[in-house]
């Protein structure tokens, strides 16, 4: 099953909640870039990935949350004779949501394959416990305004221009970028700007605003990773390093 990437057309930090950051963001599914996940019969359970840089796959957390939700017996029985194969194409540490997408795709696959019959809204609740972006990928929406710490998903009837996406050979740590924002950019929070952006279509946003205006993580990302400077004329997705432009 294909596990699609996403971009953030805009991302505004609107507050904090303990160690977390509350956001308002436009998520857009990128169907031209995807990983592939499938189940294969096996004598023992394993999660096999062709990207050796991934040490701890988020799918393990998805399995744990499904077990907590009461599906331990079904999972144990199925994975006593199956393993999980992941073919990666979405770069890691790139702001494209690859890990979250993998977890969401796994939830959808297991729900179907094992006939768990979990309703979509309940599956999204489970997804929100796994990671900030997972619920969006479970939702099935092409575009959505995402708020809170990623758990509030509102489908948006969007108009997205044709985009060119590029991922530099730079790993951007999401926790470090957010920490840099909290340490040095928190005073620049503009809730009113975020509320205005959520009502505009992506095509309008990319015509009206500059890159650093659309993404509050632009400044902290480029401060932490000066090798990103050659891409300052592009739009930044999430905490980076992926950038995009309108074709």
Point out the residues that are catalytic.
Answer: 6, 133
Alpha carbons 207 and 212: distance in angstroms, whole number:
13
User: CA separation (Å) from 120 to 39, 104, 134, 244?
Assistant: 21, 11, 13, 31
Alpha carbons 103 and 80: distance in angstroms, whole number:
20
H or E element that contains 221: helix 218-224
Alpha carbons 46 and 242: distance in angstroms, whole number:
30
Alpha carbons 118 and 121: distance in angstroms, whole number:
8
Nearest to 27 by CA among 100, 90, 118: 100
């Amino acid at each position: 099953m294909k596990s699609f990437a996403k971009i953030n057309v805009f991302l505004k930090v609107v507050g904090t909640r303990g160690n977390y950051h509350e956001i308002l963001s436009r998520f857009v599914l990128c169907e031209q870039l995807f990983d592939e996940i499938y189940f294969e019969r096996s004598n023992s359970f394993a999660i096999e990935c062709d990207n050796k840089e991934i040490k701890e796959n988020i799918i393990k957390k998805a399995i744990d949350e499904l077990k907590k939700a009461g599906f331990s017996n079904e999972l144990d029985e199925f994975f006593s004779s199956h393993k999980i194969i992941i073919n990666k194409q979405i770069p890691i540490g790139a702001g494209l949501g690859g890990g979250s997408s993998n977890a969401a795709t796994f939830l959808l696959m297991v729900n179907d394959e094992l006939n768990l019959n979990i309703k979509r809204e309940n599956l999204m609740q489970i997804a929100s416990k796994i990671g900030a972006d997972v619920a969006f990928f479970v939702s099935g929406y092409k575009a959505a305004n995402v708020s809170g710490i990623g758990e509030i998903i509102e489908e948006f009837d969007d108009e997205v221009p044709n985009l060119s996406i590029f991922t530099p050979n730079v790993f951007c740590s999401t926790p470090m970028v957010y920490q840099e924002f909290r340490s040095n950019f928190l005073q620049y929070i503009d809730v009113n700007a975020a509320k205005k952006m959520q009502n505009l279509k992506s095509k309008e946003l990319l015509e009206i605003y500059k890159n650093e205006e659309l993404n509050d993580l632009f400044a902290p990302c480029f401060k932490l990773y000066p090798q990103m400077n050659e891409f300052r004329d592009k739009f930044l997705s999430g905490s980076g390093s992926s950038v995009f432009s309108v074709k």
